[in-house]
Amino acid sequence: MHVLIVLAHPDNESFNSQLTVAARSALEAAGHVVTISDLYAAKFDPVEDGRHYGDRLNTQQFVALAEQRHASKNGTLPRDVQLEIEKLEAADLVILQFPLWWHGPPAVLKGWFDRVFVSGHLYNSKMRYETGYFRGKRAIASVTTGAPASAFGPGARGGEMELMLWPIHYSLHYLGFSILAPEYHFEVSGHGYSYSEESENQKRLQANIEDWSKRVAHLDYERTLTFSGWADWAEDGSSKSPN
């Protein structure tokens, strides 16, 4: 496999970084080719805006999707966006590695979706969902949390992980990706894993890294999640199934 790891964490010694390094090692040891998009290191600008576009369709008003289509067609997409698209096109598997911040991805990753998933080149009204541009490719979220596992679940204090990751999964499904069950790394504090090497917490997190390393090399064989698709919807987008 060609694997793209998209890393969204501001600290290059973070547990997220350690997971990324470990995943790369495990994947390479298994003969896979790995590319990393470290969004913080690249100073990726997540704010979709007219200033990114050199050749504008409309310089009076910035209509994001219209400018994306115009730039897709004319080969004038912003350089950083074009680079990310090329990495996605080359990948068989995409790993999103990020901490859960305010029940979702950090802004730098949310904006990677906003800017890179361009209308026109990557989707249109027919080329979506199971007919999406990236069909045949796989994607997985690998997520760290500060709260312990016990705080997540239906009705639990931290909320339900499946629900919090739904926007990410469904956006990837929209582009045609097959989605793998996420990898969770709970109770990751900013410290702990790096300062107290002998602690129980350190051991737990080290085991977590090892588990992820074992899993990651075989993601091409895992079963993927099920989402609704074209056969489930009426022409107007409503569900054909009674609720």
Contact between 61 and its own copies (CB under 8 A)?
Answer: yes
As measured in angstroms, the least distance from the Cβ of 185 to its own copies is 16
Among 18-26, 70-78, 84-92, 143-151, the segment contacting its own copies (CB under 8 A): 143-151
| Given 29, 33, 41, 47, the residue binding its own copies (CB under 8 A) | 47
CB 73 to its own copies: min, Å: 16
Number of other residues whose CB lies within 10 A of the CB of residue 142: 22
State in angstroms the smallest separation of the CB of 143 from its own copies: 13
Window contacting its own copies (CB under 8 A); options: 54-62, 85-93, 133-141, 209-217: 54-62
The distance of closest approach from Cβ of residue 76 to its own copies in the complex, given in angstroms and rounded to an integer, is 18
Q: Does 233 bind its own copies (CB under 8 A)?
A: yes
Smallest gap, in angstroms, from Cβ of residue 29 to its own copies? 28
**Contact region with its own copies (CB under 8 A), list: 19-27, 135-143, 146-154, 177-185:** 146-154
- For residues 119 to 138, the per-residue mask of contacts with its own copies, x marking binding by CB under 8 A and - elsewhere, is ----------x---------
Interface with its own copies includes 153 (CB under 8 A)? yes
- Which of the 8 DSSP states describes residue 123? B
119: enclosing H helix or E strand: none
* 8 A C-beta contact, residue 146 and residue 42: no
Comparing CA positions, the residue from 198, 10, 215 lying closest to residue 95 is 215
Kindly state the helix (H) or strand (E) to which residue 5 belongs, with its residue range. Answer: strand 2-7
Query: At residue 207, what is the residue type?
Result: A
Helix 200-216 with 15-29: angle, nearest 10 deg: 40
Binding-site member from 135, 157, 214, 218 for its own copies (CB under 8 A) = 157
| Interaction between residue 171 and its own copies (CB under 8 A) | yes
54 or 190: whose CB is closer to its own copies? 190
Strands (E) in 21-175, as ranges, are: 33-38, 93-99, 138-144
Non-local (6+) Cβ contacts of 106 within 8 A are 8, 9, 98, 99
Site for its own copies in 211-230 (CB under 8 A): 228
Cα–Cα distance measured from residue 37 to residue 96, given in angstroms and rounded to the nearest whole number: 10
Q: How many CB atoms lie within 10 A of CB 97?
A: 28
